[in-house]
Chains A and B, each alone.
Chain A
Amino acid sequence: MSEGHDHSHLSDTELRVRSLESLLVDKGIVDPAALDALVQTYGEKIGPQNGARVVARAWSEPGFREWLLQDASAAIAEMGYHGRQGEHMTVVENTPQVHNLVVCTLCSCYPWPVLGLPPTWYKSAPYRSRAVIDPRGVLREFGTELPDNVAVRVWDSTAELRYLVLPEQPPGCQGMSQQELAALVTRNSMIGVEKVAVPKSGGRL
């Protein structure tokens, strides 16, 4: 994006944000270096690769999986992921009988330390309105067809608990390292709108 000094192309919103930033820096309410550190943290450092490592470890280590399902905050913190918007974690496990789906109908609550900032669709009116009343329709839009015998459980993040879906491990993962397994795990599978796809290379990446 061009960041020149010609402001004529800037939207009203952009001008308003720039003006507010100038004011807050001028008044000493915010430190410009801290703003840059915040942007860098959420723009580059924290993302769904963290959650994918948690899932891969749960698939590989039965003891860790048990811990994760019993006390997700502690198990995830042990891997170094904790803090803002992940203070109280709950992990919900997909099984052949139950498929879990996470939403925040009231705002945009999302487990930042393990998934980063939420995608636009997660924060949008279509997803927030429909996930609770039409979860199967939502899943179909993401290409996820569930067998008739599978129950859908929707988790509406209305308090300070943050939910991460532990997706089912697909077949064909024998002999894979945790790193290889983590590469299979998508953000959408940890929100619950998709399943983890069977590895294309038949077990080895």
Chain B
Amino acid sequence: MNGAHDLGGMHGFGPIDPEVDEPVFHHEWERRILALTLASGAMGKWNIDMSRHARENQPPAQYLANSYYQTWLVGLEKLLLEAGLISAEELVSGSAAGALPENLAKKVLKADMVPAVLSRGDQFHMDDDVAAKFAVGGRVRVLNDHPTHHTRAPRYVRGHCGVVERDHGVFVFADANAQGNKIPQHVYNVYFTAQELWGPEADAKDGVCVDLWDGHLETA
């Protein structure tokens, strides 16, 4: 979706203004929403692309006004409601109207499982033997697609040509994974010159590397 999250190349946001000696969290609630989000994921009701979509799928003005962890809160509430793990009434009241079904209760992340679950991580690589559609060194163009669903092809590369620098292997295609479909595709690192993306005023030496799937590209 062409949302406010797709920020690459926009103007007007001002200086970066990094905070000196910044703490990991600025408020207690930030720690809590991070932990709630990670723990709720153990229910297995959504994947990382669905959670990214839940966060980015907000009215642009709201997305930009939210702090980072406020957007995590918005995303988690949405995921829990859409998955049917909680009801709208429960969300308002803050207390449970019924118990969790037994099959889900078995999935709850326990404290002693945390180190193993975090160190194992997620599985994005797929073992499927899928042929690569593009070769390293080949020239590709990013499709000029504007899907209303989740996509990991940022707007600033669409329609532009680059060179395949690496084939990272076969991964689950994020755009489809956000809709619950596991499609194995090659992911490539594609190099775009800064002048291809931003015009002749850009520095001729500079460039941007973007990871893109088969489904984002065509031969150029």
Contact = CB atoms under 8 A, between A and B. Distances in A.
B8 A120 contact: no
Contacts of A127: 16
B158 interface: no
B109 A87 contact: no
Nearest to A22: B94
B121 A86 contact: yes
Contacts of B205: 149-152
Given A82-B121, A160-B124, A34 B39 contact: yes
Interface in A14-67: 14, 16-24, 26-31, 33-39, 41-43, 47
Contact of A119 (B22, B43, B152): B22
Contact of B203 (A13, A152, A161): A152
Given A23-B90, A153-B206, A158-B211, A34 B109 contact: yes
B27 A1 contact: yes
A192 interface: no
A178 B57 CA distance: 45
B24 A117 contact: yes
Contact-residue size bin, chain B (C-beta under 8 Å from the other chain): 35 or more
B116 to A, nearest CB: 9
A129 B122 contact: no
Given A13-B73, A119-B22, A35 B94 contact: no
Interface string A82-97: 1111111000000000
B196 interface: no
Given A31-B111, A142-B16, 6 more contacts: A27-B98, A37-B111, A41-B115, A106-B52, A129-B10, A161-B168
Interface of B: 5-11, 13-19, 22, 24-29, 31-36, 38-40, 43, 52, 55-56, 64, 68, 70, 73, 76-77, 80, 85-86, 90-91, 93-96, 98-100, 104-105, 108-111, 113-115, 117-125, 152-154, 156, 168, 171, 174, 187, 189, 191, 194, 197-198, 202-203, 205-213
Interface of A: 1, 3, 11, 13-14, 16-24, 26-31, 33-39, 41-43, 47, 82-88, 103, 105-108, 116-117, 119-121, 123-133, 135-136, 138, 141-142, 149-161
29 contacts: A13-B29, A17-B32, A17-B36, A19-B91, A20-B94, A26-B95, A27-B98, A29-B104, A37-B111, A38-B114, A84-B38, A84-B122, A107-B55, A124-B68, A125-B64, A126-B15, A128-B8, A130-B13, A132-B8, A132-B9, A133-B156, A150-B205, A152-B205, A152-B206, A153-B191, A153-B208, A154-B208, A156-B209, A160-B174
